[in-house]
Structure 1
Amino acid sequence: MSLLKQLIEIQDNKKNIAVCNNLVSNHEYTGNLKRVKKEFDIEKSKFKSKEIEISNLKKKYQVASNSLNEDKEELEKIKFELYNNAGSDLKLIDALQKKFNKKQENIKIVDNEILKLLEQEEKLSSEKESLKIKLSKLKNDFYTYKNTEGSKINDAREKMKKSEEAIKETEKLIPVDILEIFNKICSSKGTGAAELKNNICSGCKVKVSSMTIDNVKKQQRIVYCDNCGRIIYCNEKKSF
């Protein structure tokens, strides 16, 4: 491998490291995980709230149901007394009839209350089920995204490691003085080498001199761009 190709290989690996590093340090990934987790916690809180509401409704239902049963038992007692023990005592009959009517009215009120409690419970149960489905979806979305993006990040870390190792191995083959020049250009320009296309440096987009082109044609060891100072090269498969 020629010296120039070795420098280009180092540059390509540096570019790869930069791309992978951006992926590894992607704040959007962490932000998205936090957003989904926050949304999950909010919906979970709503779900727990529905459970508490349903539990309280069931307690109210039980109290109302017990009260209804007691009222019905008392109603039967009043009814029995009215038809079996009142005889012709009009005063007692009137008192029992009023008591009977009042108890019937109370039973009707409790019946309506129980009906409303059942309707509320049905509504809350439906809302709870919707929240359960949403929680399940959020949980799946969270882990799917985490696993997918986490895999990309792990792959990026592995590629970075391989590129770093490749750079170290290639640097051992390059003379120290040339490597220092190349790294210095990379530090100031972002890239140290640029391809010459149609006599134009792809790094600075400026046409180079005829002398520089001639030096590249002669495949001199190192040729610099007249304008930006990058090391320029020509793809061997292309002509000037």
Structure 2
Amino acid sequence: MSLLKQLIEIQDNKKNIAVCSNLINNHEYTGNLKRVKKEFDMEKSKFKNNESEMSNLRNKYQMASSNLNNDKDELEKIKFELYNNAGSDLKLIDALQKKFNKKQEGIKIVDNQVLKLLEQEEKLSSEKESLKIKLSKLKNDFYTYKNTEGKKINDAREKIKKSEEAIKELEKLIPVDILEIFNKICSSKGTGAAELRDNICSGCKVKVSSMTIDNVNKQQRIVYCDNCGRIIYCNEKKNF
């Protein structure tokens, strides 16, 4: 591998490290996890409130049903007394009839309450099922996203490790003075070396001068791009 290729490979590995570091430090990942977790907690709170409402509703229903049964028993007693014990006592008949009518109206009211409670329970039960499905989906989304993104981050860490090892090995092959020049250019321009393709610098996309091409052909030790100053040729064996 030529010296220039080694320098370009170093900067490619540095670029890979930067990309992977950005992925690891990307706050969007943490933000998305927090958002899904927050939504899950909100739906979970709704689910608990639903269960609490259902419990209170059942208690009301049981109480109303018990009252309804008691009222019906009392109505039957009044009816029995009216038709069997009142005889021809008009005053008693009138009182029992009024009591019967009042109790019957009360039963209708309680009966309507029981029906409304049943309707409310059905509605809450439907909401509970919807919440249960939504909670399950949010939970799956959370862990799927966490596992998927977690794998990306682990892969990125592994790539950084390999790139750092590759850079260390490549730097051993490059003369110290050339490496210092390369790193200095990298610090100011982001990249320190570029290939020359059809007399055009791949770093700045500008055609170099004939003199620069001549220096490359003469195998000068280091040749820089006229426009951007990146290394476009370097020869380890050539001396100044």
Q: State the TM-score, normalizing by the size of structure 2.
A: 0.93
Deviation at residue 184 of structure 1 after TM alignment: 0.6
SS of the residue 1:62 aligns to: helix
2:95 maps to which residue? 95
1:36 corresponds to 2:39: no
Deviation at residue 202 of structure 1 after TM alignment: 2.0
Deviation at residue 137 of structure 1 after TM alignment: 0.8
SS of the residue 1:204 aligns to: coil
Q: 1:71-119: CA deviations, max 9, x gaps?
A: 0111111111112211111111111111111111111110000000000
1:185 maps to which residue? 185
SS of the residue 1:228 aligns to: coil
Q: How does 1:39-118 map to 2 (within 5 A)?
A: 39-118=39-118
1:129 partner letter: E
Counterpart Cα distance in 2 of 1:153 and 1:35: 19
Deviation at residue 220 of structure 1 after TM alignment: 4.0
Counterpart Cα distance in 2 of 1:16 and 1:214: 34
Counterpart Cα distance in 1 of 2:71 and 2:46: 37
2:232 maps to which residue? 232
Counterpart Cα distance in 1 of 2:222 and 2:97: 118
Deviation at residue 216 of structure 1 after TM alignment: 2.5
SS of the residue 2:43 aligns to: helix
SS of the residue 1:223 aligns to: strand
Q: State the TM-score, normalizing by the size of structure 1.
A: 0.93
Which portions of structure 1, spanning 4 or more consecutive aligned residues, are displaced by more than 3 angstroms? 217-221
Q: Between 23-32 and 197-206, report the one with greater CA deviation.
A: 197-206
Deviation at residue 19 of structure 1 after TM alignment: 1.2
1:115 partner letter: L
Q: 1:199-236: CA deviations, max 9, x gaps?
A: 221222322111211233444442211122101159xx
1:22 corresponds to 2:22: yes
Deviation at residue 136 of structure 1 after TM alignment: 0.8
Counterpart Cα distance in 1 of 2:163 and 2:228: 26
Q: 1:127-150: CA deviations, max 9, x gaps?
A: 111111111111111111111111
Counterpart Cα distance in 2 of 1:220 and 1:88: 136
Q: 1:165-190: CA deviations, max 9, x gaps?
A: 11111111211111111111111100
Q: What count of residue pairs does the alignment treat as equivalent?
A: 234
